[in-house]
Amino acid sequence: MVIILAVILIQQVQIGDVSHNLSRGAFLEMLFEVVSAFGTVGLSTGITPDLSLAGKLIITAMMFIGRLGPMAIALAVSRREKTPKFSYAQETIMIG
């Protein structure tokens, strides 16, 4: 879901309202960039320097999310209170 959302966002930022004929082949290049950034493999098709600031920020966010891992981010963001599964015994001891 994260990759799909990032591809949609980067296409909206980069391509916008450009006609289909002018943006031919851009989807696969952008998909490759996003998947490569998410996997933190370091490969590129060479379109990264041509991206706008918003596009570069999306790619940077994908690198960060891919490095941390989706499950770690989901656990960090979730607000789940942990209830203890045990309790310590309490007793007053009389000495003397």
Residues 6+ apart with CB under 8 A from 51: 10, 14, 59
Would residue 38 count as lying in a domain?
Answer: yes
Q: What domain range is 45 assigned to? A: 2-13+21-77
Would residue 54 count as lying in a domain?
Answer: yes
Would residue 86 count as lying in a domain?
Answer: no
Would residue 91 count as lying in a domain?
Answer: no
Cα gap 3→40, rounded to integer Å: 13
Would residue 25 count as lying in a domain?
Answer: yes
Would residue 83 count as lying in a domain?
Answer: no
H-helix or E-strand containing 14? helix 2-14
pLDDT in tens, 12-22: 988 877 777 77
Look at the alpha carbons of 30, 32, 35, 39 in this order and tell me if their dihedral is positive or negative: negative
Q: Say how many domains are in the chain.
A: 1
Would residue 82 count as lying in a domain?
Answer: no
pTM of the model: 0.70
Would residue 39 count as lying in a domain?
Answer: yes
pLDDT in tens, 32-91: 999 999 998 989 988 889 899 999 999 999 999 998 887 887 788 887 777 878 888 888
Q: How many CB atoms lie within 10 A of CB 47?
A: 15
